[in-house]
Amino acid sequence: MISSRTRKTAGKLCVVFIFALVLVLIPALGFDFYYDLNDDMAIRDILSGAYTGTPDGHCIQMLFPLSWLIACCYTAVPALPWYGLFLCICQFGTITLIAWRLLDIFPNKLSGVTAVVVLEVIVSGLFMRQLAIVQYSVTAGICMSGACFVFATEKKSGSFSLSAFLTVMAFMIRSEVCLMLFPFLMLAVLIRWGMEEKILAAENFRKYLIFAGYLLLVMAAVRGIDRAAYGSGEWNSFRSLFDARTKIYDFYGLAQYDEGNNEAFYTSIGLSRESYGLLENYNFSLDESIDSRVLNSIAEYREAQAKAGGDLSYTFGFVSRNTFKEALWLYKEQLISFFSDDKNAAGLSGSVMCSYAVAAAYVIYILFCFIPQSGRVKRHMLFKILGLVLIRSVLWLYLYMVDRVLDRVFVPILMTELAMLAGFILTDIKGVPFFRNAANAVVCILCVLFMGAAFVNNYRALSLEYDARERAGERWEALTDYCKYHNNNYYIIDVYSATSYEGAPYSEKIFTDVDNDYKNYDICGGWVAKSPLYRQKLDREGFKDIQSALHSEQFEDTRAYFISDCKRDIQWLKDYYAGRGITVLPKPVDIITTDSGDAAYTVYAVN
């Protein structure tokens, strides 16, 4: 005879399976799954072997233990989209774990199923875009939000191993996002510890300190493995270049060549005006003299300018594009935008409904504070609110100071904040008898109505974005098909011609037309440029560097070609060679057209 506990577990598995199936089908039936940016495609190409011809775990962005495992999967079964599949499993799997936890919180069948349905509506309404258009930074954010929710709702006698697992997974996927959201998890730890009957008991010290210590130890071990994997001299030199490049392009910006003493500085480090032009348009792979020394010198120069005062600021020990006062003003404008019609003022136009959901969760939780409860419980609720507001304010102010208010950065913050509030509401609501009955139904109905409106709004927005990606994808597919057809040649692509079209990023579908074969093209910049993988790719083609590969004395000797958008001016290419004492005349040898007959790219022979 089957025990009641076994039947209950089987029932939970059935509910969770249906939940996961519906969660996947909602975006899958309306849209194809896409990689969000060419960053994800570059990671996929390295892991799958499409970049160098051999699967490699050195994908630079993800930490090596995880990237190595994915590369091994490509080695074993090359035809499958392992990287995209992994990201989707992490996203849908984490949300499914949250659904399982809800069934633990609500042992009553009706309440549990209702909670799972509400979760389905919330996730589909707010985050359908993130589920259908996958970005590894957001995936790390979903894992962290799951870790925070699971920890905040864990039973007193429960284990924190699931939260630890999700945190470590987020750390390996995108360590920067994990560390950015780590304060939320530590807040949950402090709150759980503070709610213990005997806070200073040795048992509680062991429980929470061991959890924190275990996390830090595992993360340090993973980081150590990653550093060992990149421990060679070539990789060390590249990582130095990579870090300097990130500072310059993502945070500092380039100092204008003709302003002030900038020209004298650039001349002192051996950077000509023509080479500076390559840095401006991201095509710095063309110049071998732009190495880690040059980029680190530029980064240090910008830091010195920030300390001296200028177009950059130096506040709280780091360089920022906005002062603290300017960031405070922008943050205030973001908060005010909740009550205005201008939803673009704070840069949140793509996630307005999510911002409203977070605000609504704050309002609901604050209302709980006015319900008669013990003073101890009220103090904890107040501490939770103040802690969340403090962490989210610090993060937003930092983003505004460094001017990095990007969807893939702030959406994980909103996700984690919402997960924390949901966890607090679900744990504290149990002590309020009134909210066990009628108010539960009212909250669920309002939630479903709001999320229904969010679902319609996001579905329309995603449909428009999907159409734009289809148009951009037609051009990108024409380019990749052209290169694949002319597989005896090698193609260098202008960076700006390989990023987006009419605002839609060039990206590819995850599960459609999977092609992990070697690609005989590369962009003339980007974060893979100058890496050992980049050198390995050139060696495979028999080239020393891009500059000499592109330039040939005779047209008949040409094997490497330059590709640029038909509307892009490539005068900078002529200027660069002229600065090296080489007169070139890039000759259009072909036009790449889309299936609809539109001219998309020009193929040049640099003779």
Q: Nearest-CA neighbor of 33 among 130, 133, 136, 128?
A: 133
pLDDT at 69 over 90: yes
pLDDT at 156 over 90: no
pLDDT of residue 198: 77
In this prediction the pTM is 0.93
User: Rounded to whole angstroms, how far apart are CA atoms 65 and 59?
Assistant: 11
Find the helix or strand (DSSP H, E) in which 602 lies.
strand 599-606
Confidence of residue 341 (pLDDT cuts 50, 70, 90): very low
Strand partners of residue 605: 587
Per-residue pLDDT tens digits for 94-110: 999 999 999 988 877 88
Q: In this structure, what token pair is assigned to residue 192?
A: 């759980």
Interstrand relation of 521-523 and 490-493 (parallel, antiparallel or unpaired): parallel
Q: What's the average model confidence in pLDDT over 430-446? A: 56
Q: What's the average model confidence in pLDDT over 125-140? A: 93
pLDDT at 495 over 80: yes
pLDDT at 42 over 50: yes
Is the CA virtual torsion 94, 135, 125, 436 positive or negative? positive
Percentage of the chain exceeding pLDDT 90 = 59
User: Rounded to whole angstroms, how far apart are CA atoms 555 and 564?
Assistant: 19
User: Rounded to whole angstroms, how far apart are CA atoms 260 and 428?
Assistant: 60
DSSP 458-490: HHHHHHHHHHHHHHHHHHHHHHHHHHHHTTTSE
Q: What's the average model confidence in pLDDT over 179-196? A: 89
Q: In this structure, what token pair is assigned to residue 194?
A: 């503070």
Per-residue pLDDT tens digits for 520-579: 999 999 889 999 999 999 999 999 999 988 987 655 666 899 999 999 999 999 999 998
Residue 386 Cα distances to 304, 362, 366, 381, 393, angstroms: 37, 11, 11, 9, 10
Please provide the average confidence, as pLDDT, over all residues in the chain.
87
Per-residue pLDDT tens digits for 363-408: 888 877 666 555 555 677 888 899 999 999 999 999 999 999 988 9
pLDDT at 445 over 90: no
198 or 481, which is more confident? 481
pLDDT at 199 over 80: no
54 or 371, which is more confident? 54
For the chain, the structural domain boundaries read 468-606
Confidence of residue 345 (pLDDT cuts 50, 70, 90): very low
Per-residue pLDDT tens digits for 70-90: 999 999 999 999 999 999 999
pLDDT of residue 274: 93
User: Rounded to whole angstroms, how far apart are CA atoms 149 and 597?
Assistant: 51
